[in-house]
Chain A
C-alpha cells in the first residue's frame, strides 16, 4: 500500500492536490479533506475501491456513453480502459494527453469542452 504522499503524487500529472505538509492548509481546506476521506471509505473500503458486480452489469448501459481517460493514469492503466471499451462497444472513448487519474484536475477546460460537446450532440 502506498503512503499518502506517494498516492497523491500518482493521482495527477500536475502538483498533488493535497500537499505533504497539511499544516499549511486552512481549517476549511482541512475539513474538506477529512470529509472527502470519509466519503472515500464509504464508497471504497470494502470491497476495496472496486465493484465486483460491475462487469456483470455494464452490458445494461444502452445510453450514449462518453468515456474519458487520462493518458498518464497511474492508478487505472490501459488494460482497465480496454475492459471498459469491450463492455461498452458503443461508447466514445477519449484519451486526454497530459492527464492522470484526476484528469478533471489536470485538464479541467478540456474535459468541460468534451462533455459539453457530447451532451450538445446528444440533445440534437
Chain B
C-alpha cells in the first residue's frame, strides 16, 4: 500500500464564525495575508511529504473556508516544479462544473510535462453546491461530464492531426495540445465512487477507483470494482487500482495521537456546515436518483458504526475510528488498524491520507507525516495482497 499525503488546506480561523462554511460565507471573513501564509505552510508540508517518500494528493473547492485550493492544477503546477519524486494526484478536477474541458486537458498536459511525467488525474463530477458558483446547467450534468471526459482523453491521446470537436455540450474548431503530456497514452486516470454500481464503470475503463471516508461501504465499492474488472479484463485488478481516503493521526504516544486527532476532527464538523438548499440543486440528480434519495432518507449516505447506528457528525474520535474514517495511535497501532481495514475491505493499494486536517498545526503535521513515512509506510508497502472473496457478495 502506498501513501498519498492530502490536506484540504483549510482557512481554519473562519471555523469560529457561526453558520455555513460553504457557498454563503462572505469573503470579508478571509484575511488574505493569513490565507497566503497558511497556503504556503500547506505547500511546505507537501514538499516535506515528497522528501519523506510519500506521494501527494490535491483537491479543490470553491467559496469554502474548508479548502483554499481553488484549482487542483494550479496547486499542482507549483508542486510539479518544487517536488522531485512524489507522484502528484489531482483528485479531482470537477468536470461537471468546468466551463472549458480543453483548458483542463491543456493544464493536465502542462503539469505532466513540468513534473517529468509524475501526474495522476482524477476526473470527478464536482460538488452539487458548487453549481451555485460555476452556474453550469444542473440538468444532464453527467452527460456533460462524460462528454468533457471523452474530449480530454481524445486530446491527451491524439498522435495524429489536430481535430475539431462538435458535441452536445462543447464545440472546438481545433484541438491541439502544446505541450503534450509525457505519459502515454494518458497520465493514470482516477475516479471516485460511493457505491458498487458507480465503481463498475471505472473498472471497465481500467481507471483507478477511490472511495472517500465511506467506512464499511468501501468493501462493496471495491468488490463491485473487482467483479467488474474481472469480467471486463479477464483478471483481477492490482490493488493499485483501489484507493481509500481517511484521516490519520500518528504520534509516539497514544495521548498525543488523540490530541492531534481532536484538532483534525473539525474537518468533519465544518465540512458538514452547508445550508440544505444548496445540497441538491434543481435538476442536478436524475429523476430516478432524486426519487431514490427521498425514499432512502437524508441519512442514507452517512457512515455507520459497527452496530449500524449512524456516526454522529460530532462523534468521538473512537467513533470515527470504529467507522473507519480515522486511524489514530502510535505507529504500531496505526499500522494494525490500517492492516485490519485492508483485510476488511478485501485489500487496496492506495491510502489517501489526510495527514493534515482541520486545525492541526504545522509542528504536529510534520511529526505526523514523518512518523507515517518512516515507521508505517515501509510496513504498509509490504502488506500481503488479500485473496479476494470471489463471491463478491457486496456487489448486489
Q: Which residues from A are CB-within-8-Å of B297? A: 23
- B96 in the interface, Cβ–Cβ < 8 Å? no
Q: A23 touching B139 by the CB < 8 A rule? A: no
Q: Mark A1-24, 1 if CB is under 8 A from B, else 0.
A: 111100000000000000000110
- B275 in the interface, Cβ–Cβ < 8 Å? yes
Chain B, interface SS category: loop
- B287 in the interface, Cβ–Cβ < 8 Å? yes
Q: Which residues from A are CB-within-8-Å of B137? A: 41-42, 45-46
Give min CB distance, B281 to chain A, whole Å.
Answer: 7
With both beta carbons as reference points, the residue of chain A lying nearest to B289 in the complex is identified as A34
Q: Enumerate B88-115 residues with CB–CB distance to A below 8 Å.
A: none
Q: Which residues from A are CB-within-8-Å of B282? A: 37-38, 40-41, 45
Query: How many of B's residues come within 8 Å of A, CB to CB?
Result: 19
- A27 in the interface, Cβ–Cβ < 8 Å? yes
Q: A2 touching B281 by the CB < 8 A rule? A: no
| Cα distance A2–B138 in the bound complex, in angstroms | 18
| Cα distance A1–B284 in the bound complex, in angstroms | 17
| Cα distance A1–B135 in the bound complex, in angstroms | 15
Q: Which residues from B are CB-within-8-Å of A60? A: none
Q: Point out the residue from A22, A33, A41 that lies within 8 Å of B283, measured CB to CB.
A: A41
Q: B291 touching A23 by the CB < 8 A rule? A: no
Q: B276 touching A34 by the CB < 8 A rule? A: no
Query: How many of A's residues come within 8 Å of B, CB to CB?
Result: 20
Q: Which residues from B are CB-within-8-Å of A35? A: 287
Q: Which residues from B are CB-within-8-Å of A58? A: none
- A30 in the interface, Cβ–Cβ < 8 Å? yes
Q: Which residues from B are CB-within-8-Å of A31? A: 287, 291
Q: A42 touching B139 by the CB < 8 A rule? A: yes
Which of B282, B283, B295 has the most A CB atoms < 10 Å from its CB?
B282
| A-B contact list, 30 entries, CB within 8 Å | A1-B275, A1-B278, A3-B275, A4-B276, A22-B294, A27-B291, A30-B290, A30-B294, A31-B287, A34-B290, A34-B291, A35-B287, A37-B283, A38-B139, A40-B282, A40-B283, A41-B137, A41-B139, A41-B281, A41-B283, A42-B137, A42-B283, A45-B137, A45-B138, A45-B281, A45-B282, A45-B283, A46-B135, A46-B136, A46-B137
Extra contacts, 13 of them, besides A23-B294, A38-B282, A41-B284 (Cβ < 8 A), are A3-B277, A4-B276, A30-B294, A31-B287, A33-B290, A38-B139, A38-B283, A40-B282, A40-B283, A42-B137, A42-B139, A46-B135, A46-B136
A residues contacting B by CB (< 8 A) are 1-4, 22-23, 25, 27, 30-31, 33-35, 37-38, 40-42, 45-46
